[in-house]
Amino acid sequence: MGTPTEIIFRKMTPADIDAVNELDEKCFGDDAWSVGFLTSEFRNPNTKYLVGEINGEIIACSGIEIFSDEAEMTTFAVDPDFQGQGLGKRLLEETICLAKKFGATSMIFEVRCSNVPALHIYQKFGFRKVGRIKNYYIDSEDALTMSGEI
Ligand SMILES: CC(C)(COP(=O)(O)OP(=O)(O)OC[C@H]1O[C@@H](n2cnc3c(N)ncnc32)[C@H](O)[C@@H]1OP(=O)(O)O)[C@@H](O)C(=O)NCCC(=O)NCCS
């Protein structure tokens, strides 16, 4: 297992799509994006995707879509084998940097009501609940909409 200091963050490339799909399935189960959806997301000119690599293995991924001065975070995940080592916080810092680089001054995203680890990290970075969407997920769980200045 790697340590947090070994992680390298870089832009996602088309060659990463299969590995990101595997990571997505490990992290999100039934909510995982298909290869086709990932490919179309990657081709969207307004989206930017990041991967985190340890020893050449993709163990983290995040994405944003830029809407003028607001970025919507579309995905955010760390491989379960590498969670709890501070990499989620590193990934969120990198994602915020990326959003700022493309002119965003705020970020918005959805999260499952029950996702305690994700809610913990988002609140730690100053994101706050601004809404709730009923039956948002495939299993009918509600989503919380989180937002904050970056
Ligand atoms: C959310 C996620 C990215 C966090 O990644 P991580 O690498 O474990 O996060 P970190 O190690 O940086 O921990 C961040 C904070 O969350 C806390 N945390 C981690 N796991 C936790 C848990 N199970 N319960 C409560 N807090 C938890 C850590 O203690 C840390 O807080 P601290 O700085 O106050 O100690 C990871 O759990 C994940 O990929 N989950 C599956 C995909 C997902 O749900 N993504 C979010 C979609 S909205």
Q: Does the pLDDT value for residue 1 go beyond 90?
A: no
* Span 61-110, pLDDT tens digits: 999 999 999 999 999 999 999 999 999 999 999 999 999 999 999 999 99
Return the pLDDT at 91: 98
The neighbouring-strand residues paired with 107 are 71, 148
Measured over the CA atoms of residue 50, residue 74, residue 36 and residue 43, the dihedral's sign is negative
User: Which letter, b or e, does each residue of 81-99 get, where b requires 16 or more Cβ atoms within 10 Å of its Cβ?
Assistant: ebeebebbebbbebbbebb
Which protein residue's CA is at the shortest distance from atom 48 of ligand 1?
111
Residue 146 CB–ligand 1 contact under 6 Å: no
Closest CA to 93 of 72, 69, 124: 124
User: Which of 24, 110, 120, 123 has most ligand 1 atoms within 8 Å of its beta carbon, as the pocket-test mutant?
Assistant: 120
Could you list the beta-strand ranges (E) of 2-142. Answer: 8-11, 47-54, 57-67, 70-78, 106-112, 128-133
Domains, in order of start, for the chain = 4-107 (3.40.630.30)
* pLDDT, mean of residues 132-150: 97
Q: What is the atom index within ligand 1 of the atom nearest the CA of 124?
A: 34
**H or E stretch including 144?**
strand 143-149
Residue 6 Cα, ligand 1 centroid: separation in angstroms?
18
83 CA distance to ligand 1 middle (Å): 7
pTM, to two decimals: 0.95
Whether the CB of 51 sits within 6 Å of ligand 1: no
Q: What is the sign of the dihedral through the CA atoms of 117, 146, 108 and 127?
A: negative
**End-to-end C-alpha distance for the chain, whole angstroms:** 32
What residues are annotated to the active site?
A: 110, 122
Residue with CA closest to ligand 1 atom 15: 121
Cβ count within 10 A of residue 31: 14
